[in-house]
Amino acid sequence: MSAGKTRNEIIKAADQLIYLNGYEHTSFATIANVVKISRGNFYYHFKTKDQILNAVIEQRKTNTRSMIRQWEQQHTKPAERIKCYIKIILQNWPKIKQHGCPVGTLCNEMTKLSHPSQKQARGIFTIFRKWLRDQFRLLGHEEQADQLAMHVLSWSQGVATMASTFKAQQFAENEVDQMCRWLDELTTGKSI
Amino acid sequence: MSAGKTRNEIIKAADQLIYLNGYEHTSFATIANVVKISRGNFYYHFKTKDQILNAVIEQRKTNTRSMIRQWEQQHTKPAERIKCYIKIILQNWPKIKQHGCPVGTLCNEMTKLSHPSQKQARGIFTIFRKWLRDQFRLLGHEEQADQLAMHVLSWSQGVATMASTFKAQQFAENEVDQMCRWLDELTTGKSI
């Protein structure tokens, strides 16, 4: 395996383990076990668990940007694009039911641990936040754009926490419907 | 120190440490260090970390019930009582800013770890959920009572996650205002 490929394998394994079990629960050794490489080879790429975490966060940011680009290609109307974000929870329901929202749970854990990577982690939310803000601006809500973006992020986060805690798919579906209706009401009468 | 008092001290210390740093991060040894008792004395009360966790959850349930009783004594109108719940986030803002919502972050961690105490932990939410449901019933929303209760819990959870992630007090204040207005609109025209 080439050095670049090994590095990517480590990041991929760490990303999964951190999502499934949390950062604190994921040890250097567990990641190395999954990737099946020697300790020496592992240390060549990453010296500390925090370094791996930062690489995982960077990878998640790249994936987030690429997901957003897809939504933009699929939909020209801002409201339809925002609905792509709103519906992620249902599309990823089997995973969210078991492990929560990957961004929200990571940020919660970083906050809890007062971890130095707290800012980097919330940077994933910031990508969504800025993009949602742009969509609300396109919808004519210039002044409230950031507040509306945060409202959507926050609404989704709450649904992810409560739906995964109570394993309540129906609740998640109801809330997603409600969010879409709220968005439709917000856009009604506005020129897009 | 009497046996009962020592047990309570252990639970109190564990409760704080779990809230501040998370369950996974909190070791048997850290708790013992805070309480300053011998290993033997510690094991007399608790054999495993999971046993301590369950005692902490029971304690939190007791505290939750007592908080709810206070709200009921302070306010006779159901809408005012619900607002007590909605405003917790602002009252506890300095702590929530640093460590998130104690119930939501614990439930998130239990979900993430597929921990056997997952059900017990969500039992704290269930106390709030049932109580909020009762208040919505008193407000005349019989059929939707549970959905409304979950909506309030979920809304608050989202705000706690986003506000603590971005250290955004103003955002939390705006959302609390919005929740209170939403509740006022819901109760308008209904006989209480």
Cβ count within 10 A of residue B100: 25
Q: What is the pLDDT of residue B192?
A: 40
The amino acid at A156:
S
Q: How confident is the model at residue A189 (pLDDT cuts 50, 70, 90)?
A: low
Q: Is the CB of B158 inside 8 Å of chain A's CB atoms?
A: yes
Say which CATH number the domain at A21 has. Answer: 1.10.10.60
CA B75 to chain centre: 20
Hey, is B117 helix, strand or coil?
coil
A164 contacts in chain B (CB < 8 Å): 108, 111
CB-closest option in B99, B105, B158 to A157: B158
Output the pTM of the full model: 0.93
Q: How many CB atoms lie within 10 A of CB B153?
A: 23
Which H helix or E strand runs over B114?
none
Q: Are A161 and A153 contacting, i.e. CB atoms less than 8 angstroms apart?
A: no
CATH of the domain at A184: 1.10.357.10
Residues A67, A16, single domain; the answer is no
CA B110 centroid distance within chain: 14
d(CA A172, CA B75): 32
The DSSP symbol for A188 reads T
Final residue before a domain boundary, out of B27, B47, B67: B47
Taking the CA of residue B105 and the nearest CA in chain A, the distance in Å comes to 7
Which one of B47, B62, B85 terminates a domain?
A: B47
Q: Are residues B1 and B64 in the same domain?
A: no
- The radius of gyration of chain A's CA atoms, rounded to the nearest angstrom, is 19
Are residues A34 and A65 located together in one domain of the fold?
no
Segment A38-97, tens digit of pLDDT:
888 888 999 999 999 999 999 999 999 999 999 999 999 999 999 999 999 999 999 999
Cβ neighbors of A132 (< 8 A, separation 6 or more) are A82, A85, A148, A149, A152, A153
Angle B145-166/B169-187 helices, nearest 10 degrees? 170
Cβ contact (<8 Å) for B165 and A100? no
Q: Which helix (H) or strand (E) holds A118?
A: helix A118-138
On whether both B38 and B68 belong to a single domain, the answer is no
Same structural domain, A126 and A64: yes
Nearest Cβ partner for B111 among A99, A156, A157: A99
A67 in the same domain as A42: no
Cβ separation of A107 and B158 shorter than 8 Å?
no
What is the spatial distance between Cα A135 and Cα A138, in angstroms, rounded to a whole number?
A: 5
**Over the stretch A121-147, which tens digit does the pLDDT of each residue have?**
999 999 999 999 999 999 999 999 999
Domain span at A151: 54-188
pLDDT score of A184 more than 80:
yes
Answer yes or no: do A58 and A43 share one domain.
no
Task: For residues B121 and B108, give the distance between their C-alpha atoms in angstroms, rounded to a whole number.
Answer: 10
A22 touches chain B (CB under 8 A): yes
CB contact under 8 A, B161 and A161: yes
Same domain, A108 and A34: no
Please list every residue in chain A whose beta carbon sits closer than 8 Å to the beta carbon of residue B149.
Answer: none
Q: Which of residues 80-109 of B touch A (CB under 8 A)?
A: 98-100, 104-105, 107-109
Same domain for B120 and B180, yes or no, is yes
Residue A15 pLDDT exceeds 60 = yes
Positions of chain B with pLDDT under 50? 190-192
Task: Clarify whether residues A117 and A154 are in a common domain.
Answer: yes
Q: How many CB atoms lie within 10 A of CB A177?
A: 11
Question: Are both B102 and B133 inside the same structural domain?
Answer: yes
CB contact under 8 A, A166 and B108: no
CA–CA distance, B6 with A184 (Å, rounded to integer): 57
Cα angle, residue B80 at apex, residues B76 and B83 outer, rounded to 5°: 145
Q: Which residues of A touch B122 (CB under 8 A)?
A: 165-166
Give the Cα separation of B11 and B168 in Å (integer): 31
- Say how far apart CA A61 and CA A41 lie, in whole Å: 26
How confident is the model at residue B191, as a pLDDT?
Answer: 40
Q: Give the mean pLDDT of A146-159.
A: 98
Q: Do A111 and B104 touch (CB under 8 A)?
A: no
Cα angle for residues B158, B164, B170 (degrees, 5° grid) = 85
Domain count, chain B: 2
DSSP string covering A25-82: T--HHHHHHHHT--HHHHHHH-SSHHHHHHHHHHHHHHHHHHHHHHHHHH--SHHHHH
Say what the ipTM of the complex is.
0.92
If asked whether residues A35 and A71 sit together in one domain, one would say: no
- Summary mean pLDDT of chain A: 94
